[in-house]
A = this chain, B = another copy of it.
């Protein structure tokens, strides 16, 4: 049973020991290690994520891209505009369905990722060394289970 605060007749979990806060702080600690690298290459975390997803699977429509990169549609619209202006991606209309926007990396975008990827991998390896790969895998499994359970549960 989680520790509780009992005060003035109401109770709440201690703020510092709740899923929302600890998930936020954990993510913050992880991202802190990537931030200098991302800043050095003048890309935001979200822009990097979008390009990485595109690298994994050539072209795709904006909806799928948003879902895979965990970015909301309005944010993606702005991000794509920025990346397009920088020549890192291109967009075109889907000829089968005029509503969809197909997005793809340009050769320059692909080169960009390939040049930065080793640094990203190195940082992730540092984290793996600090935490231990087993513990990370366990944690990833539990996070996936949480996501699965909450996304379906009632």
Contacts and interface: CB of A to CB of B under 8 A. Distances in A.
Nearest to A120: B12
Given A15-B68, A56-B14, A23 B143 contact: yes
Given A18-B124, A139-B146, A10 B117 contact: yes
Given A17-B140, A26-B143, A30-B19, A7 B150 contact: no
Copies of the protein in its oligomer: 2
Contacts of A8: 110, 114
Interface of A: 1-2, 5, 7-34, 45, 49, 52-53, 55-56, 68-70, 110, 113-114, 117-118, 120-121, 124, 126-128, 130-131, 133, 135-140, 142-147, 149-151, 153-154
